[in-house]
Structure 1
Amino acid sequence: MESTIQTIKAQWDAFKEQNPKVRIRDAAKQLGMSEAELLNTGIDVNVIRLNDRFPELLKEINTLGKVMALTRNDYCVHERKGIYKKASFNGHVGLVVTPDIDLRLFMNYWAFGFAVNESDRYSLQFFDKSGEAVHKIYLIEESDQQAYHNLVKKYTANDQQETLTALPASAPVAELPDHEINVNEFQESWKALQDTHDFHPLLKKHQLTRTQALRLAPEGYAFRLELSTLKTILENAAASGQEIMVFTGSPGCIQIHTGPIVKLVETGPWFNVLDPDFNMHLRMDGINAVWLVKKPTIDGWVHSIEVFDKDGNTIVQFFGKRKPGIPESEGWRTLLTDSTAII
């Protein structure tokens, strides 16, 4: 075990020497390792291994005060500042629902946790069985550092030298040929939807990937858009002050921002929202498809913008601000009509 950790550490140290500006997630991919394995080499230096009592720990994050929650995938980084409150768990599913921090947690994916000190920037970082980051929590200027140290001490793992064995990432689900899908039944079920949350079970029932479902949607329910249209939608949202919802997910967490977006900045391939309490970094060259999707509910139509990579993975989704029992805002529909000329 020691030689393995030392071997990984030697490669990681050499890589950092040669590539000081490359972020750890990108470094892990280039080295053919996982981010969690690289972090694990910092034990006894700037990293502390946490035990796996993750739900209990998350229920105490509110003691830190205002923090920055970060959830990302390969092509979208979602950063939201606020106070964790009302964390609750039902089996493997957790919820944090406040106007600022809004999370859906899938704890069966959470395998490893670390407390990390990067030049006095303190964070709690969580990873799945393959060593991919599922969620991170960073202290900011307003956070309570003493509460952080107390929390880390309480949830420190007994064995700091425990072997970290990252499993291979799950292979993508193979898509069934279209002719094996009962398309008519699927389309009628889509038309009969009463809640947007029923869409995922509908896909599972018919063994459809999400992008395949959009291709096979009932006529008038899904429209593929140009990439430039996505920029137009976000620019119009910023210009109008329309409150939107931005969903970004990792294997173990979906993080949601609800509110306006204001400051938009393009930097190289990244399209960014840079607001005081919400940042989004969207890598445009990772986007393969953008769809406008319509779903019926008991509250009326709900329209979303859904963004996918080349493997059909969801990168980010955009909705108008809404809650169950409240119809979708006319402002969001007007924005989409002005931006796409479709609805």
Structure 2
Amino acid sequence: MSTPVRVDANSPQALREAWHALTAQGRLRIREAAQKLGVSEAQLLATGVGGHVVRLGGDLRDLMMRMGELGHVMALTRNEAAVHEKDGNYTNISHGDQVGLVLGEDIDLRLFYDKWTFAYAVEEKVGSETRRSFQFFDACGDAIHKIYLRDDADPFAFEALRDAWAAPVQIPGETVLPRPASLKPERSDDAVDVEALRADWHAMRDTHQFFGLLRKHQVSRTQAFRLAGEAFAKPLFTNTPARVLQAAAAGALDIMVFVGNSGCIQIHTGPVKRIERMGPWINVLDPGFNLHLREDLVAQVWLVKKPTTDGVVTSIELFDAQGEFIAYFFGKRKPGIPETTGWRMLAESMGTR
């Protein structure tokens, strides 16, 4: 990453001017501009509050419950190494205290509202068109989830929701928290009861029990993989993701692609067809679903097997150099339905390191 440009992050005007100066040099996405300026994306976006950006307040869970009113949209969730874009409608929306679900036919989300801090309604001029979106960020100003209206969406519903959730204060600028250090250091392997870990893994009957296993044994996900042994987890080569996508496309195989961050996980279930490489990016460019994955940021890939009442569930899981989750690949499945033989054969055909 290039050295950030020196700019007063506490001055919305200075930030806005520096941003405009950068974009005058060439096309630059807001996330990239924020990195160059050494600020968060929310800080940069909030320089437009009072103009094309409206700061939102109130209960964001209730706002999300209303997103179906927009009609046809594109849902976007990303992390540093992967971008997941899915077209559809927000349907079958629910939430508890801090966890929300969107279980639509096309848009499938897990929402962790304790991480949601800032929200904005944005109307940008792109040529002669107006691009409308709702954008949500964590306390550090990093993007959690974005919702872009497609051409056939309802702009009047957008305006109604924007106005209903508009915060009372519409002053440019945002104060964010500093980003914490990456994942906390792992416990020493010697401090882990490996036999007990393996026994609990073998006893799993649902994939969701894996989170409890990690907490019980106080291990990270990748540490658990490393200690579980090859019966449960095997390291794969870092070029595996492209090979998985290409093989799934060639075999017309329905798969599940999970991409997320601390506040949202977004899931595609179905085929992948058009796979293209562009520089360090491997891309799925299908109608209704795009995936953009930075292969050069993939540091670990694991073939993982979890026992369930429906049989073994096989996944291929991607992590960066800090052990942060990038993406997961599964075969298409639902509770009560075993994974397909085709997916298991594809996953197991990937060479181990």
TM-score (norm 2): 0.93
Please list, as runs of the form range in 1=range in 2, the aligned pairs for 1:297-312 lying within 5 A after superposition: 297-312=308-323
**Inter-CA distance 3–104: structure 2 relative to 1 (3 Å threshold):** closer
The one of 59, 67, 71 equivalent to 1:65 is 71
Contact 1:77 1:282 in 2 (8 A): yes
Name the SS for the 1:124 alignment partner: strand
Separation of aligned partners in 1, 2:40 and 2:105: 33
The offset of 1:284, in angstroms, is 0.6
- List structure 1 runs of 4+ shifted beyond 3 angstroms: none
Contact 1:52 1:113 in 2 (8 A): no
Please list, as runs of the form range in 1=range in 2, the aligned pairs for 1:74-223 lying within 5 A after superposition: 74-119=80-125, 120-161=130-171, 164-172=174-182, 173-223=184-234
Separation of aligned partners in 1, 2:245 and 2:229: 27
Separation of aligned partners in 2, 1:142 and 1:185: 54
Separation of aligned partners in 2, 1:91 and 1:145: 30
| Cα-Cα RMSD | 1.7
- Greater mean deviation of Cα atoms: 78-87 or 46-55: 46-55
| Equivalent residue number for residue 38 of structure 2 | 32
Name the SS for the 1:41 alignment partner: helix
Contact 1:52 1:112 in 2 (8 A): no
The one of 8, 11, 25 equivalent to 2:15 is 8
- Greater mean deviation of Cα atoms: 120-129 or 181-190: 181-190
Percent identity over the alignment is: 49
Contact 2:11 2:173 in 1 (8 A): no
- Tell me the amino acid that sits aligned with residue 210 of structure 2: F
The offset of 1:240, in angstroms, is 1.2
Separation of aligned partners in 2, 1:38 and 1:280: 25
Contact 1:52 1:111 in 2 (8 A): no
Q: Given the alignment of the two structures, is residue 332 of structure 1 paired with residue 339 of structure 2, yes or no?
A: no
Gaps of 5+ in 2: 1-7
Contact 1:222 1:294 in 2 (8 A): yes
| Equivalent residue number for residue 48 of structure 1 | 54
Gaps of 5+ in 1: none
Contact 1:135 1:250 in 2 (8 A): no
The offset of 1:66, in angstroms, is 1.0
- Tell me the amino acid that sits aligned with residue 340 of structure 1: M
- Tell me the amino acid that sits aligned with residue 234 of structure 1: L
The offset of 1:163, in angstroms, is 5.6
Aligned residues: 340
The CA deviation string for residues 200-230 of structure 1, in whole angstroms up to 9 with x for no partner, is 1211111111111111113321111112333
Separation of aligned partners in 2, 1:227 and 1:243: 22
- Greater mean deviation of Cα atoms: 132-141 or 50-59: 50-59
The CA deviation string for residues 17-43 of structure 1, in whole angstroms up to 9 with x for no partner, is 33x322111221221111000000011
The offset of 1:264, in angstroms, is 0.7
Separation of aligned partners in 1, 2:295 and 2:240: 12
Name the SS for the 1:216 alignment partner: helix
Separation of aligned partners in 1, 2:282 and 2:314: 22
Contact 2:49 2:172 in 1 (8 A): no
Separation of aligned partners in 2, 1:130 and 1:303: 34
- Tell me the amino acid that sits aligned with residue 233 of structure 1: V
Name the SS for the 1:78 alignment partner: strand
The offset of 1:16, in angstroms, is 2.4
